[in-house]
Amino acid sequence: MGSPTQPGYLELVRGNANYRRLWLGDVASHLGDWFNAIAIYTLVERLTGSPLALGLVFITKSLPFAIASPIAGLMADRFDRRRLMILSDLIRAVIVLGFLTVREPQDVVWIYVLGALQMVISSVFIPARSASIPNITSARELLTANALSAATWSALLAIGAALGGLATEWLGERAVFVIDSGTYLISAVFIWRTVIPQETDPPAEGALVRAALRQVTDGWRHIREHPRIGRIVLTKPAWALGGGGIVYMLALLGQQLMPAAPAIGIGWLYAARGLGTGLGPVVMRNTVPDRRRWPFMIGLGIIASGTVYWFIAHASALWLLVLLVTFAHSTSGANWVASTVLLQERTEDRFRGRVFATEWLFLTLVDSIAIVSASLLLERRLLTLSQGFIAFGGVQVATGLLWLVTVARREARDGRGPDSTVSNSVS
């Protein structure tokens, strides 16, 4: 099954005011987030010099998200998503100012505490936003909207990481944290002006906690009872099995490349990652529009990403590393958009928040396990950084091969395109 004729990116942004406002809010907050991330990585390295301490930063950006995701997904299905996103932005604007209190090595614990709080709130925002896109776009606009959202995330990773590295070196970490707080406020203003129609479940009966757990369980049951949803929920976690450790090690590689200006080194490599994840969905949208081919493409993408990191392990020139990182993450960007679109099309609106939250639960749990493994192996000197890239690249290659012989084959056998394309969108 192919896709309906799709609008261009400019046509979508000009013609759909509600998507435009949600998108502009993303532009603001994502830019600040990447400024914040580079500043935190640099701050922890400067105060501790420990690979494990840096790994814990990545964990506090993943594990709390995983723990909170089931309830957050239920909230996205039960409450007004627009209000949830606005409230999340306002709370995060306050939380990131707390990083200003970190000055000495003994203060690093507050980076973990505040980072965890920030991600718990983000666990509410992200499924609410993902579940809202089909409600403010038409079936014709859906793929373009997701491709643009992913490309925007990627472009702002590229721009934000590069500029964040420069801003951290020139202005200092404290100024960057203030800038990040301001971007959340800008996002809240744009979302406040957005109209988001929504279908919700009726109020649950019984005690609040018991009712919440029952509805979360209903969401998981919905995934189990619809294998074509359940398989796609595993797409992003499959990449993260090796990719989580790889993304963490990029920060260490950036510091190694430019020890005199580590923020700039990290910024260059994360900018290349962002460029790649932005190019991938654009190329996919124009060359692989047929949904039937996406599961096979996903497996090949995981294999390609891991293979490229074998070459990265032996490269030393900055220009070559930037080129290789860009290519490696173009495949992950395409996979991200493909899996997101398939989940949006296959899931009823009233379950969509819980499905996306479950996807994030699996993704962040796998991501956390990969990061802990990589950071412990490096901290205890069981692997060098180059050996780490080879090992975790190998995990990706093996995962991609397994995907092709299981998920891709089952998808091809089960049907031609989505089994339950649900249109809950608004023109």
* Residue that the structure tokens 């023109």 belong to: 427
3-state SS class at 247: helix
pLDDT higher than 90, residue 395? yes
Supply φ then ψ for residue 398, to 5 degrees: -65, -40
**Mean predicted confidence (pLDDT) in 159-174:** 86
Q: Is residue 422 part of a domain?
A: no
Q: What is the chain's mean pLDDT, rounded?
A: 86
Pick from 331, 319, 298, 251: nearest CA to 409:
298
pLDDT tens for 290-342 read 888 999 999 999 999 999 999 999 998 888 999 999 999 999 889 988 998 89
What is the chain's Cα-based Rg? 20
For 223-247, b where at least 16 C-beta lie within 10 A, e where not — what string?
Answer: beebebbebbbbbbbbbbbbbbbbb
What confidence tier does 426 reach under pLDDT thresholds 50, 70, 90?
Answer: very low
pLDDT higher than 70, residue 59? yes
Sign of the Cα pseudo-torsion (106, 109, 115, 118, in order): negative
The answer to whether 364 and 69 are in contact (CB under 8 A) is yes
Q: Is residue 220 part of a domain?
A: yes
pLDDT tens for 121-160 read 988 888 888 888 888 988 888 888 887 887 787 778 788 8
C-alpha distances out from residue 312 to 124, 180, 340, 373, 379, Å = 35, 31, 28, 20, 21
| Predicted pLDDT at 349 | 79
pLDDT higher than 70, residue 178? yes
pTM for the model stands at 0.75
Which range of residues forms the domain containing residue 260?
Answer: 10-197+206-414
Q: Is residue 427 part of a domain?
A: no
Q: Is residue 116 part of a domain?
A: yes
* Number of structural domains in the chain: 1
CA–CA separation, 317 and 314 (whole Å): 10
Q: Is residue 426 part of a domain?
A: no
What confidence tier does 4 reach under pLDDT thresholds 50, 70, 90?
Answer: low
CA–CA separation, 87 and 124 (whole Å): 10
| Predicted pLDDT at 211 | 56
Q: Which two tokens stand for residue 39?
A: 């500043």
C-alpha distances out from residue 342 to 75, 146, 227, 334, 405, Å = 22, 11, 13, 12, 20
pLDDT higher than 60, residue 209? no
104 vs 26: which has the higher pLDDT = 104
Residues 6+ apart with CB under 8 A from 217: none
Q: Is residue 259 part of a domain?
A: yes
| Predicted pLDDT at 190 | 94
Which CATH number characterizes residue 254's domain? 1.20.1250.20
Q: Is residue 425 part of a domain?
A: no
The answer to whether 193 and 185 are in contact (CB under 8 A) is no
pLDDT higher than 60, residue 421? no
Q: Is residue 2 part of a domain?
A: no
pLDDT higher than 70, residue 267? yes
Q: Can you state the percent helix, strand and coil of the chain, rounding each to 5?
A: 85, 0, 15
- On the 0-12 / 13-18 / 19+ scale of CB atoms within 10 A, 372 is buried
CA–CA separation, 47 and 164 (whole Å): 19
What confidence tier does 63 reach under pLDDT thresholds 50, 70, 90?
Answer: confident
Residues 6+ apart with CB under 8 A from 150: 277, 278, 281, 333, 336, 337, 340
The answer to whether 70 and 357 are in contact (CB under 8 A) is yes
CA–CA separation, 268 and 318 (whole Å): 9
The answer to whether 284 and 6 are in contact (CB under 8 A) is no
DSSP state of 313: T
